[in-house]
Structures are given as C-alpha cells and as structure tokens.
Amino acid sequence: MAETSTLHDAFLDELRDMYHAEKQLTKALPKLMKAASNAELVDAFESHLAETENHVNRLEQVFESLGETARAKTCDGMKGIVEEASAMMQESFDENTMDAVLIAAAQRAEHYEIAAYGTLVTWARRMQHDDAAELLQQNLDEESAADEKLTEIAESGINQTAAADAHA
C-alpha cells in the first residue's frame, strides 16, 4: 500500500519548486537588465537580483530549519514565464515598448512568486514552523515590494510613452 503524503510533504515539494524558481530568476534578471533602456527599470532589476539571491539563501535556511537538504525541483511555472520573457526580448520593439513588455514579464514572475510564498507562509504557520514562516514572509514582502516598484515605474511614464508611440 502506498504511503499517504501529508501537508508537510506538499510544503517541502513547494519549497523545492520555489528554490528552483528563484535560481531561474538569478539567471533571467541580468538578461532583463541588459534589454531594458530605462535607467530606473535597470536599477529595479539590479536591486531585485540582489534580493533574489537573498531569497535563495533564505530558502536554504528554511530547508536547514526543517532538517532537510536544500534541493530544487523543476519549476515548470517559472520556466514558462522565463521562456515567454525570452521570446518577447527577441521581438523588435521600440525602447519604450520593450521596457513596458519587460515590466509585464517581470510582474508575471512576481505574481507567481507572491502566490507561492503566500501559500508557503500560511502552511508554515499552520504547521508551527515559525522560523520558516518568518523567512518566507521576508521573501513574500520583498516580492510584493518589487511588484509595487515595477507598477510605479510603468505608471511613471513608460506605459504612457509606449502607448503614445503606438498611435504615432
């Protein structure tokens, strides 16, 4: 008879998924930085790259707090988001449109992470993994802040200029 998996097993599976997702983003963010032309957007991507590296470290701390080895499980969701972003970067958009597209791609990744970390924090709290919950909450807070920053950048003129260029 097969052993029944528990919420703890699902939690570990999701942690492994996010570990892989964050590692994918450490490779994707430099490409976004290179493709961006808006200085504020480049700075935001650079800043979030440093945060993403910290997210990887925090996830390793979470695994350690649970007595587990940090290992990744292929995150197909983030893989798809990264592949879509790569495809968009191959298009021949004008600079403002490319920046708008890069923001959209980055926000897809942020929203994916926000959803995953929200679940992980809730599960960690329910299972009384307090140290893990605290570390995961820090990642969640930073993902939410990055999403807000991207919205501010988009609304500060990039989307408006790209829209005006579309009708020129």
pLDDT in tens, 143-154: 999 999 999 999
What is the overall mean pLDDT for the chain? Answer: 94
Residue whose structure tokens are 């994707």: 28
pTM for the whole thing?
0.93
Residue whose structure tokens are 């890069």: 102
How would you classify residue 157: left for phi > 0, otherwise alpha for psi between -120 and 50, otherwise beta?
Answer: left
User: What architecture is the 7-166 domain classified under in CATH?
Assistant: Up-down Bundle (1.20)
168 secondary structure, DSSP code: -
pLDDT in tens, 127-139: 999 999 999 999 9
